[in-house]
Structure 1
Amino acid sequence: MTVGIVLVSHSAKLAEGLAELAAQMAPDVRIVPAGGLPDGGGIGTDYDEVVAATQRADSGDGVVLLYDLGSAQMTAELAVESLADPSAAVVVDAPLVEGAVAAAVAAQGGANAKAVGEAAASAGVAPDLAAAEPSAAGEEGVVEKEFTLTNDVGLHARPAAVVVRSLAEFEAEVSIRLGEQEADAHSVLALMSLGARQGDRIVVRARGLQAAEAVAKVAELVESNFGE
């Protein structure tokens, strides 16, 4: 089971499209759109639809609700309050698109509801792209390797999500460097912000008990074109 996600929007098309996008990065997560008024009634949010969506999204590990505009927040909060167990769901203040992506990847990685909500909320902060520092030769506990991206679109959304999900199982701090910029390999948004494209050479750097295994996993992903 994983934490479920509900996308509350004034637009049915927006909610449905975003749910489709997020599902590409988190195939095992229940991501349920709740947008628009009933029966194609246009722009707005519907309390009953949000309640039903929250119930459908709940597989037993909790539900995180994201929303687009102010009244959608009110509808989401009222829906949660009406649940038999309101503590099973939480409404998170986060940018809808970026938050949905971050929450979906976190849920796919097995994070609990609190961590999924925090991942969504943190998506509102600009990704930390640090200036890459030269590696100290033979630095203890550090594994570093360079790769060339051969997949068609580089580290776009889905490959970035694949990297983040795959590294969640390893006890290691991992970063990916492109040129003079370095990003946390545990953040989809940070990896996407690198703008790494086909043919670019990236450097993967890991530190920790499973640093070598983490780098080997990235090597496997690159060689398989991230499953594309």
Structure 2
Amino acid sequence: MTVSIVVVSHSEKIADGVVELAAQMAPDVVILPAGGTDDGRIGTSLEKVLAALEQAGTSGDGTGTTGMGATGTVVLTDLGSAVMTAESALEFLENPAGVLLADAPLVEGLVAAAVAAQGGADVHAVRKAAEAARGAAAQPGPGGADSGTEPVSSAAPDCTGDFELVNQAGMHARPAAKVAGGLASLDAEVTINGVDGASMTGLMTLGAGKGTVLHVEAWGADAERAVEYVGGLVEAGFGEP
């Protein structure tokens, strides 16, 4: 993997827990926790963050955080002061160009970022995947206006597809993460049965079980690729029984 991820949290247990969760869905991605203070209290530690960034920079392909393009490190944080600690850590790096801070929800953002990195996305696409997990409210929909929690458009989709869920458990957390993480890194707005395809939470609210047909609509330059991506995952049963 060429992109690593660092999680900065006020709690060591939270950092370790979300990293464990994301690692289940992206086993080949280097994801490092930097939670709590040096003496185990609630808070953040500049030293812990620096150590994680240095480890991330020497993991994987060895190009480090100075690499441009595909390589680099994405940092996710929980609360405001964690952002400040992460920003302070960047000032101590010899070359922080390959380290990107993501403005994203910690759990859903981390899972989406990890899945994108597992799929080979570059550092910018991984950050985009994390930030897309916040929902479509922060992004313009295909029609150009803010679209609320779901992308909407008066224009006909550029590509559509219908795919029947064949895996026994249906659209639970792992498949939702794979779909959302992959779509978030593409240049396309996608709805699946009416919800934002790049939102892991939105997909899980569908309650789609085995046999449910997913209707996929996509707009944008990568519309066809997005529909094919979803179709491929569904037809393969997300690699599950």
TM-score by length of 1: 0.74
Query: What CA distance in whole angstroms lies between the structure 2 residues aligned with 1:154 and 1:132?
Result: 27
- 1:2/1:28 contact within 8 Å kept: no
Q: CA deviation at 1:34?
A: 0.7
Within 5 A, what are the aligned runs for 1:159-198? 159-163=175-179, 175-177=191-193, 182-185=194-197, 187-198=199-210
AA at the equivalent of 1:89 = V
Unaligned runs of 5+ in 2: 64-70, 138-148
User: Pairwise CA RMSD of aligned residues?
Assistant: 3.6
> What are the superposed Cα offsets for residues 110-133 of structure 1, whole Å, 9 maximum, x if unpaired?
333233223322322357436799
Give the match for residue 3 of structure 1.
3
The alpha-carbon distance between structure 1 residues 69 and 174, as it changes in their structure 2 partners (threshold 3 A), is: closer
> What are the superposed Cα offsets for residues 144-181 of structure 1, whole Å, 9 maximum, x if unpaired?
3341x34343212211233456779999876432xxxx
Q: Which moved more, 1:165-174 or 1:199-208?
A: 165-174
Query: What CA distance in whole angstroms lies between the structure 2 residues aligned with 1:91 and 1:170?
Result: 19
Within 5 A, what are the aligned runs for 1:201-212? 201-205=213-217
Query: What CA distance in whole angstroms lies between the structure 1 residues aligned with 2:92 and 2:19?
Result: 24
Q: CA deviation at 1:44?
A: 1.6
Query: What CA distance in whole angstroms lies between the structure 2 residues aligned with 1:77 and 1:208?
Result: 34
The alpha-carbon distance between structure 1 residues 169 and 5, as it changes in their structure 2 partners (threshold 3 A), is: closer
Secondary structure at 1:38 match in 2: coil
Q: CA deviation at 1:186?
A: 5.0
- 1:34/1:49 contact within 8 Å kept: yes
Secondary structure at 2:29 match in 1: coil
The alpha-carbon distance between structure 1 residues 173 and 50, as it changes in their structure 2 partners (threshold 3 A), is: closer
Which structure is larger by alpha-carbon Rg, 1 or 2? 1
Secondary structure at 1:197 match in 2: coil
Give the match for residue 21 of structure 1.
21
AA at the equivalent of 1:16 = D
Secondary structure at 1:43 match in 2: coil
Give the match for residue 144 of structure 1.
161
Instruction: State yes or no: 1:129 paired with 2:155.
Output: no
Instruction: State yes or no: 1:102 paired with 2:119.
Output: no
- 1:7/1:65 contact within 8 Å kept: yes
Q: CA deviation at 1:69?
A: 1.5
- 1:6/1:33 contact within 8 Å kept: yes
TM-score by length of 2: 0.71
- 1:102/1:189 contact within 8 Å kept: no
Residue-pair matches, total:
218
Query: What CA distance in whole angstroms lies between the structure 2 residues aligned with 1:80 and 1:99?
Result: 21
Q: CA deviation at 1:56?
A: 1.6
> What are the superposed Cα offsets for residues 36-91 of structure 1, whole Å, 9 maximum, x if unpaired?
1235x221211111111112223431111111122211211111111111222122
Secondary structure at 2:74 match in 1: strand
